Amino acid sequence: MRKILAKVLADRTLFQVECAEDPYVARKIIKQFHPNVITLDIEMPKMDGITFLRNLMKLHPLPVVMLSTMTQQGAEATVTALELGAVDFIGKPKADADNQNLLDFQSSLIEKVILAANSYSTIKKHREFFSVPLSLIKKPLGAQQVAGKLIAIGASTGGIEAIKQILRHLPNNLPPIVIVQHLPKLFSERFANRLNAGVELKVKEAENGDVLHSGFAYIAAGGRHLQIKSTGEQLVCVLSDQAKVNRHRPSVDVLFDSLSDLNAEKLLLVLLTGMGKDGSQAMKRLADMGAYTIVQDQQSSIVWGMPGSAVALNCVDLQLSLNQISQKLQSHFQ
């Protein structure tokens, strides 16, 4: 696999590619060449990828794209890697993958490595945006302050860490929060469980028919679209296997568009770091209807694709850092 990756990147990009058969060799190469980006396998000889990544991020933060098996064990390790600061991940192709799957893997690898390399300066500064302690606003919200209101968040590349940092500063008395993070099957449930263990909110993977409650955050299931439907006075999660939108399922645009039948003035929409433009068009439509809109600012974003696309559409009320987004989510409904 290492030789295949090196050949793909050397043949189809302008990168100088160096290979390391284990983490100890990798450490020497990093010191010698100061790479712009690293691809890192979770399964390696002599030291596992998570241990190496944890040490790397403490001593020499660099953009890292993880290689993962699409298994339960691989999903758990990958979510850990993303929490530790890896920029993105890509599933390793199966041994019996056909030519089309291999071509898709190569294209995705190149795209993610290039974007990760371009995020180099952001990675160096990224940890600073999480260093300011925030106090939770404990003032209870009345029923009228929560009723019918909803926070919807979309994210992609870099979003795992961004979402974690936002939610861990929020109290458990806010309106329901629904979240689309671009993830495949197996990964979303583990992400939700990890969040639930570390924040005041109750966090769960969204299931078909879930009724939204204040103080809860619902993570879109990997590989399925999440929509919110109104049934009388209740808001309910609806999952679907419809075609990908903007190359993604779940898609932020699908989630946001499903909110168009609600009172837009009770909606707060947030677009976080991520490549592409998913969510920006639907954010524009809801903003025109009266929804309040926030995007992560360029300085703190790993990739300013999705937020930048919304800004280009002139539909954004505020551009904020992650700390500022947490503060605004708390104060907006007071």
Q: Point out the residues that are catalytic.
A: 156, 182, 278
Q: At what angle do helices 23-33 and 49-59 cross, to 10 degrees?
A: 30
d(CA 115, CA 302) in angstroms, rounded, equals 9
The count of residues in the chain is 334
E-strand stretches of 83-231: 88-91, 150-155, 177-181, 202-205, 216-219, 225-231
Beta strand 225-231 with 234-240: parallel, antiparallel or unpaired?
Answer: antiparallel
d(CA 220, CA 208) in angstroms, rounded, equals 10
d(CA 317, CA 311) in angstroms, rounded, equals 9
Token pair 């030291």 in the structure block, residue: 47
* 3-class secondary-structure state, position 234: strand
* Residue 245: both structure tokens together: 């939108």
Sign, CA torsion 275/278/281/285 = negative
d(CA 232, CA 223) in angstroms, rounded, equals 28
* Residue 87: both structure tokens together: 């920029």
Between the alpha carbon of residue 259 and those of residues 93, 140, 228, 229, 251, the distances in Å are 36, 26, 6, 7, 13
